[in-house]
Amino acid sequence: MNRTEQETFQLTAELAEAYEELFVPRFFAQWAPYLLDGAGITTGQQVLDVGCGTGVVARAAAGRVAPGGKVVGVDLNEAMLAVARRVAPELRWQQGDAGGLPFDSESFDVVVSQMAMMFFPEPAAAVREMRRVVCPGGTVGVLVPGSLAGNPPYELFVDVVSRHAGEEARRLVTSYFALGDLDRLSGYFADAGLAVTATDRPVGEFRYDSIDQVIGVELDSTPLGGRLGPGVREAIVADCRTALAGYVTGTGEVLFPFECRLVIATNRLKV
């Protein structure tokens, strides 16, 4: 992904607030314990959350490392960090680029990144930086969305969005799934000199009250929401009511299964 494509997910203050209010409870929060369990985070550790967004993983990690531990969240987007600081002012939040982390080498016991690496313009450089800042013997853990093909509801959503909003909108939405190839993802870690110790294809879920809410969450908490011309949003909603009808439960809720990719790796001890 090039720099222009990566920057399409830089959120405004309004969208960052919507992200925390809508996306975090309905999707991101469920993955934090899974990632932290995989990374083995425990009392007293120094933890870095790369691409922390509004801080859902960092907040969860803080409860595990206390007492005596420390959690730092780093993100390129200042609007996301402003929300993180408001929600958890007791934690340290720092603006920085994943490709050039603003920390000394061997500063952390664990480095994690949830649902962010697919937006980094140079994933290989980001993994090298994660390795640089983690201590010898320390752990790096990354969780990203799986492939678009492995997430059928989103294939349908992408088809509707591209039909009404065009190729740029399609590129934005499909960028979420850019690292869905587990072999390719694991390769970044091996190439950086990390020893991959575990991989997985976990399946979680999105749960919504209605199809209309699906569209509200997917559009209003991403940059796409502010880029739709007159009538486009209404057309997307109308088509999604038909395309996604198979995911509406008997109670009227909408339930999407969502497949991800997890990689856990260890920074080899120096000899």
Instruction: Give 154-178 pLDDT, tens digit per residue.
Output: 999 999 999 998 888 888 888 889 9
**Comparing C-alpha atoms, which of 123, 149, 3 is closest to residue 51?**
123
> What DSSP assignment string belongs to the chain?
--HHHHHTTPPPHHHHHHIIIIIIIIIIHHHHHHHHHHHT--TT-EEEEET-TTSHHHHHHHHHHTTT-EEEEEES-HHHHHHHHHH-TTSEEEE-BTTB-SS-TT-EEEEEEES-GGG-S-HHHHHHHHHHHEEEEEEEEEEEE--STT-HHHHHHHHHHHHHH-HHHHHHHHGGGTT--HHHHHHHHHHTTEEEEEEE--EEEEEES-HHHHHHHHHHTSGGGGG--TTHHHHHHHHHHHHTGGGB-TTS-EEEEEEEEEEEEEEPPP-
Locate the domains of the chain by residue range. 3-267
* CATH homologous superfamily for the domain 3-267: Vaccinia Virus protein VP39 (3.40.50.150)
**Comparing C-alpha atoms, which of 109, 108, 115 is closest to residue 23?**
115
Q: Give whole-number Cα distances, 237 to 109, 169, 232, in Å.
A: 45, 15, 9
Percentage of the chain lying above the pLDDT 70 cut: 93
Give the pLDDT of residue 201: 97
pLDDT tens-place string over residues 41-62: 999 999 999 999 999 999 999 9
Mean pLDDT value of segment 103-112: 98
pLDDT tens-place string over residues 208-261: 889 888 887 777 666 676 777 778 888 998 999 999 999 999 998 999 999 999
pLDDT tens-place string over residues 81-99: 999 999 999 999 999 999 9
pLDDT band (50, 70, 90) for residue 103: very high
pLDDT band (50, 70, 90) for residue 270: low
Give the pLDDT of residue 2: 36
Per-residue pLDDT for 12 more than 90? Answer: no
